[in-house]
């Protein structure tokens, strides 16, 4: 580095108490006593970093259910397609539609309808592993991405979700239609995969 050159880095450190802190470290080359020297300054930017992370999380979170939103879903799908390209291990997606939501809204009111969506979201959390991604991507529609999951395993998860929701003692009783698709056998693009799952889902909808 030459005189006047500067570098800036964000560095995460652990304190002696085990707490994580973020430091913004700047290095500037200066002349000191006729020699080139480094002037280093460090600022604790932990709170700013946490605020930025919170904003980033809110950008991919559905405000009603706390699950991921459509943006989070598409990001996770793209990541899984790339991962499968490297590992050749399939992944599955469940598309879910809460049955009769319009009737629930009409009969019980939109507050109860919103609570019904949250009840389904809570069930999805029960069955989502740490590597899975649950999302609400519009209205009464949800999705769960299941990495390294076969069609048979995905259908077992779908069956357990339906059973758990049916066992819910709260009113009104809820049911859900679920379509299953596995990449790449059911679609070699995310669009084709979603279409496959969507067709199966609507074939299961109650009349």
What are the tens digits of pLDDT across the range 85-131? 999 999 999 999 999 999 999 999 999 999 999 999 999 999 999 99
What are the tens digits of pLDDT across the range 152-170? 999 999 999 999 999 988 8
Cα 7 to Cα 207: distance, rounded to the nearest angstrom: 65
Q: Is residue 133 located within the same domain as residue 36?
A: no
The model's pTM is 0.75
Whether the bond into 184 is cis, omega within 30 of 0: yes
Q: Is residue 144 located within the same domain as residue 43?
A: no
**How many Cβ atoms from other residues are within 10 Å of residue 44's Cβ?**
12
Angle, helices 101-108 vs 110-127, to 10°: value is 140
**Domain count within the chain:** 2
State whether residue 187 is helix, strand or coil.
Answer: coil
Q: Per the domain annotation, does 1 fall within a domain?
A: no
Q: Per the domain annotation, does 57 fall within a domain?
A: no
């Amino acid at each position: 580095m030459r005189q006047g050159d500067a570098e800036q880095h964000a560095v995460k450190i652990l304190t002696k108490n085990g707490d994580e802190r973020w430091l913004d470290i700047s290095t500037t080359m200066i002349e000191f006593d006729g020699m080139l020297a480094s002037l280093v300054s460090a600022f604790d930017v932990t709170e700013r970093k946490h605020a930025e992370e919170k904003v980033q999380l809110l950008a991919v979170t559905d405000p009603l259910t706390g699950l991921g939103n459509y943006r989070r879903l598409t990001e996770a799908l793209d990541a899984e397609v790339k991962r499968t390209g490297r590992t050749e291990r399939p992944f599955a997606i469940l598309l879910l539609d809460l049955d009769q939501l319009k009737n629930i809204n009409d009969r019980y009111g939109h507050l109860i309808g919103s609570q019904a969506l949250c009840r389904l979201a809570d069930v999805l959390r029960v069955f989502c592993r740490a590597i899975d991604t649950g999302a609400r991507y519009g209205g009464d529609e949800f999705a769960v991405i299941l990495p390294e999951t076969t069609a048979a395993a995905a259908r077992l998860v779908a069956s357990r979700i339906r059973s758990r929701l049916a066992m819910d003692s709260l009113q009104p009783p809820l049911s859900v239609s679920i379509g299953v698709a596995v990449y790449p056998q059911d679609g070699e693009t995310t669009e084709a995969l979603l279409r496959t799952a969507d067709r199966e889902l609507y074939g299961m909808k109650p009349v």
